[in-house]
Structure 1
Amino acid sequence: MKRRRLAMLSIAAVLVSRPVRGDDTAAPPETPEVVRLQASFQSVADRVSPSVVAISVSLAPAEDDAVLRRDEMNPEKLEDQLDRATRTVGTGMILSADGYILTNEHVISQGQQLWITTDDRQVYPALVVGSDPRADLAVLKIPANGLHPITFGAEAVRRGQWTIAIGNPFGLAEAGEMAMSVGVVSATERSLPRLTSHENRLYNNLIQTTAQINPGSSGGPLFDLNGRVIGVNTAVIMPQKQSNGIGFALPITASLRREVDKLRRGEEIVYGYLGVMVSTPSVREREIAGVPADRGVCINAVDPDDRGAVTLRPGDIVYAMNDVPVIDADQFICKVGESQVEKPLTLSVSREGSLGHVVVVPRKRNVPSVAVSRDVQRLRWHGMLLGPVPMATEAPQLSGVMVFDIDPSSSARKLGIVPGSVITAIGGRAIADVLELQKLINDSAGGDSSLTAHVERGDVAMIER
């Protein structure tokens, strides 16, 4: 034993004291597999970066209006402008060539002015077309064309598959190229109950990834190796200073894509609601209730003022909804949210050891005031999507409404109005904002068959009613 130990020590001494030659410091040769994988990452970055944008959100009005707009945007000048106001940063992904952009709602929720920087360093003002705080999604519109939209990937995501996050960490992408990080899917169907309760959001069924997600990356895309979007980067948990953090993304599901389509059309997202507090029961509680060990949600409290939920009692274990198994509290909340408002639901319930059924009627979940207030900031009229004129435009005192989108077949487009145009007056009456335009339209209803719109730079267009 002693001889063997001495022999091992001798080998170690030889290894440590062996002379170092110049070629010993060279990196090991890359294998063909590593080279191909590296090429895949580089190819994805090159192809998808034009589909990712940096978002800058001013939380207070800027003081100076002297920033050039649209075709003459100057990033350095814009930076000076934005430095005068409190701001946050985020990331978005281009949905369509004509300027619709998807991001997280929490990125833009408190913003008064939104600015989008594209991959080619062009800067555009943005309008919130639709937002949903509950799902943490928002769709923006910029007055641009010829953009490069993303492609959504398959809904099925597996643990261990490669992921690529591209975004605007800490706002660095506004002055340079988008940042890229690579990782794998660590897990699926993750829930973040602490964030959910704090923000009145619903964070469940999330993708957990090792791809680095930092502040400023929220709202950006999580890609697969084919360059298809499999998630919306949304949250990061950094529990310890020595930890790199844990990143989470909203998965691209069929229901998410339907919601994005609704937000793009400016439609309100309606959720069903029951005035109950719920939790996931233990295996023992399920056993006592006489329900399957892998099913059930416990009713902890019931709002007596919610007439649609009064058939439930604290202590009930709900194990099915319209004969569809209820697995846990997260799934129950989701199913109620997806249910049709004012349409009865039949719940299978265990109450005091007896199995039975009760009928509940979901009502509409209240929408946060921040989401409602945005409705008055935009207007669809004669094929145009109109919104506030950003403060940082080339005309210091310009009042009116900006055209963020326009139907190519509309009469307004045929008259030469394009995205980025500003309508300053209608029928000879100056308009300051969307509310004044809406009032003017209402007041003139039933009058002449056409209205004269005065467009920025003195253009005049006769718009048929």
Structure 2
Amino acid sequence: MPRSILITCLGFLLVGPPAGFAADPDPAALQERMKKLIDRAERSVVALVISHNPKHDAPSPTQPWKLGEYQPHNPFPPTLRVPERDKLDLSDARNIGDYTLGSGIVIDAEQRLVLTCYHLIEGARKIYARPSGTGGAYADIVAADARSDLAVLRLHLSSPKLTAVKFADVRTEDTPRAKASVTRGQWVISLAHPFAAGLTDGKASASWGIVSNVSRKAPLPVGADDVRSGYLYQCGSLIQTDARLNMGCSGGGVFNLDGELIGLTSAAAAVAGSESAGGFAMPMDSIYRGIVEVLKTGEEVEYGFLGVAPGLMSQPPEEPGLKVNGVTPGSPADIARVQQSDLIHAVNGRPIVEEQDLFLLIGGALAGREVTLTVLRGHATLHLKATLAKFQHPYATIASNRPASVYGLRVEYSSLLAQQVNGPGGTRGGLNWQSVIVQELEPKSRAEAAFKQAGIESNRWFITAVNDTPTPTPAAFYSAAKKAQTVRLTLSDSLGHTKVVSLP
């Protein structure tokens, strides 16, 4: 019996017919329908060839996203022979053995945007993409985020014939509002380009399997003991599948039987250190979709920060919740009236079953966003709203769309300063949480000159207002300064001293 017929028949025996299938199927008709599903879904799957070869020009340190196209007619050093020049062309399938191989998913056809894994493009000098249904093209990086292992590329196509993927409504757990839509035992199809096999014709390879489990986590690196500063996939966010994933499958798609994307594949090497049958996928749930939407704009992903010191999980286990050991004065948690010894039961309706859940749900909610905390305090259940600050982490980011400087001045969340001093809990005294801090003073800019003239050390002062408008976040700062001919900065330090600096 052909494999595609077998899987369908087993599916009917175990879970009944999927949506759109007849109750008493004809095997040949089911096989044809499965083929059509794959043909439709593969149009959004892209083969990637990534070069880290030092013979390709490195991107500018000030524009690490701009990789450009391969220019075979450019003058080469006389020491670089013609055969070596030919090997630098990533579009030539004969050269793929020299480069990193991967896959990607078209997420915006009009803007020519492709979603893939960060670990594939880290340090890349050239990226070549081969979509289905059109010729290949080189790509630039729009934005990338190592902590989520996600990156968005833009293809150099003048008249693209691309098909964007359709995202599923992914929920890996039951909530009071809706049942889980991705569960153990669910049949899935994986589409990717193992070993860049589809580089010449753009056709993705298909494999099938089931969802082995959800909310899986990868182990922390050797010597690491704090999941708060880890990758998102170490916080229990992964979908595990037994669909076979080989080299080149990272960045491919896991699809449901409606042809909708439920996860972005990452071969086991990305999280466990070696390739193996089966693997993991990052779920395209509300957290990861939110990160993708930020990356599409070219902006940095800013993870959320609450300002609590977590304790042990509550007992008994049927009443889940994470005990709060301490609250940082002035932090988002403090402003929301979270108290020591509270039990945080849920974030935006999603339950806190273990410690990693809090870090995933708060971080994934993103800085500047409001979350609803369900808190158990004694016999009372409270619903507290907190507007998150920014979490500091050590992982690399690439952002092609940075905010325009204000006369050479860029700012950041003041919450980063607290974490630099005292780690993830953030307990620095004298910190003004309702302010921003100086991130950058461009050399020879008007802002740099004004700060020097005023005798101000930029790393000691908080900017609390622009033209008398409070600036609790970078967004508020840039909004207040936008189009203002004169920008008057109100500054304060940890001792309560104030100064005013005018730009230009």
Q: TM class, shorter-chain normalised?
A: 0.5 to 0.7
Q: Equivalences for 1:93-172 in 2 at 5 Å?
A: 93-98=105-110, 99-120=112-133, 122-144=135-157, 145-155=160-170, 156-172=181-197
Deviation at 1:107, TM superposition (A): 2.0
State the Cα deviation string for residues 246-273 of structure 1 (Å, max 9, x = none): 4221222244334323321223322212
Deviation at 1:121, TM superposition (A): 7.1
1:200 aligns with 2:213: no
> Does structure 1 conserve the Cα–Cα contact (< 8 Å) formed by 2:117 and 2:150?
yes
> Does structure 2 conserve the Cα–Cα contact (< 8 Å) formed by 1:61 and 1:113?
no
Deviation at 1:374, TM superposition (A): 5.0
Corresponding letter in the other structure for 2:242: T
Deviation at 1:105, TM superposition (A): 2.1
Deviation at 1:92, TM superposition (A): 0.5
**Among residues 225, 241, 260, which one is paired with 2:292 in the alignment?**
260
1:174 aligns with 2:214: no
Q: 1:227 to 1:326 in 2, by over 3 A?
A: closer
Q: 1:36 to 1:356 in 2, by over 3 A?
A: closer
> Does structure 2 conserve the Cα–Cα contact (< 8 Å) formed by 1:57 and 1:115?
yes
1:286 aligns with 2:315: yes
Stretch of structure 1 that moved more, 223-232 or 258-267: 258-267
Name the larger-Rg structure. 1
Partner of 2:396: 370
Task: For 2:390 and 2:149, locate their aligned partners in 1 and report how far apart those are by CA, in whole Å.
Answer: 18
1:48 aligns with 2:41: yes
Q: 1:128 to 1:78 in 2, by over 3 A?
A: closer
Deviation at 1:299, TM superposition (A): 6.0
- Unpaired runs of 5+ residues, structure 1, are 1-28, 379-445, 447-465
Task: For 1:199 and 1:235, locate their aligned partners in 2 and report how far apart those are by CA, in whole Å.
Answer: 22
The SS at the match of 2:108 is coil
Deviation at 1:375, TM superposition (A): 5.1
> Does structure 2 conserve the Cα–Cα contact (< 8 Å) formed by 1:59 and 1:85?
no
The SS at the match of 2:162 is coil
TM-score normalised to the size of structure 1? Answer: 0.58
Deviation at 1:85, TM superposition (A): 11
State the Cα deviation string for residues 142-193 of structure 1 (Å, max 9, x = none): 1221212222234322332221111122333334642221111222232334
Deviation at 1:125, TM superposition (A): 1.5
**Among residues 322, 328, 333, which one is paired with 2:359 in the alignment?**
333
Task: For 1:163 and 1:286, locate their aligned partners in 2 and report how far apart those are by CA, in whole Å.
Answer: 37
Deviation at 1:102, TM superposition (A): 1.2
The SS at the match of 1:129 is strand
Partner of 1:7: none
Corresponding letter in the other structure for 1:202: L
Task: For 2:45 and 2:359, locate their aligned partners in 1 and report how far apart those are by CA, in whole Å.
Answer: 32
Q: 1:146 to 1:240 in 2, by over 3 A?
A: closer
Stretch of structure 1 that moved more, 94-103 or 333-342: 333-342
1:272 aligns with 2:272: no
Corresponding letter in the other structure for 1:91: S
Corresponding letter in the other structure for 1:206: L
Q: 1:62 to 1:33 in 2, by over 3 A?
A: farther
State the Cα deviation string for residues 87-138 of structure 1 (Å, max 9, x = none): 4221101123231111122222222222212235733111111223333222
Task: For 1:336 and 1:295, locate their aligned partners in 2 and report how far apart those are by CA, in whole Å.
Answer: 17
1:191 aligns with 2:214: no
Task: For 2:261 and 2:348, locate their aligned partners in 1 and report how far apart those are by CA, in whole Å.
Answer: 33
Stretch of structure 1 that moved more, 329-338 or 317-326: 317-326
Deviation at 1:141, TM superposition (A): 0.7
Corresponding letter in the other structure for 1:94: V
Task: For 2:305 and 2:36, locate their aligned partners in 1 and report how far apart those are by CA, in whole Å.
Answer: 45
Q: 1:222 to 1:83 in 2, by over 3 A?
A: same
> Does structure 2 conserve the Cα–Cα contact (< 8 Å) formed by 1:166 and 1:181?
yes
Corresponding letter in the other structure for 1:119: S
Deviation at 1:210, TM superposition (A): 1.4
State the Cα deviation string for residues 213-256 of structure 1 (Å, max 9, x = none): 22321111111223221211124279899x95342212222443
State the Cα deviation string for residues 7-42 of structure 1 (Å, max 9, x = none): xxxxxxxxxxxxxxxxxxxxxx99975434433332
Task: For 1:148 and 1:344, locate their aligned partners in 2 and report how far apart those are by CA, in whole Å.
Answer: 34
Number of aligned residue pairs: 338
Deviation at 1:209, TM superposition (A): 1.4
- Unpaired runs of 5+ residues, structure 2, are 10-24, 58-69, 75-85, 171-180, 405-484, 486-504
Corresponding letter in the other structure for 1:89: L
Corresponding letter in the other structure for 2:33: S
> Does structure 2 conserve the Cα–Cα contact (< 8 Å) formed by 1:274 and 1:306?
no
Q: 1:77 to 1:39 in 2, by over 3 A?
A: same
1:67 aligns with 2:72: yes
Deviation at 1:296, TM superposition (A): 2.0
1:222 aligns with 2:254: yes
Q: 1:157 to 1:229 in 2, by over 3 A?
A: same
The SS at the match of 2:90 is helix
Deviation at 1:329, TM superposition (A): 1.5
Task: For 1:324 and 1:257, locate their aligned partners in 2 and report how far apart those are by CA, in whole Å.
Answer: 16
**Among residues 239, 247, 258, which one is paired with 2:279 in the alignment?**
247
Deviation at 1:321, TM superposition (A): 6.0
Partner of 1:92: 104
Task: For 2:358 and 2:349, locate their aligned partners in 1 and report how far apart those are by CA, in whole Å.
Answer: 13
> Does structure 2 conserve the Cα–Cα contact (< 8 Å) formed by 1:321 and 1:346?
yes
TM-score normalised to the size of structure 2? Answer: 0.54
Task: For 1:142 and 1:236, locate their aligned partners in 2 and report how far apart those are by CA, in whole Å.
Answer: 27
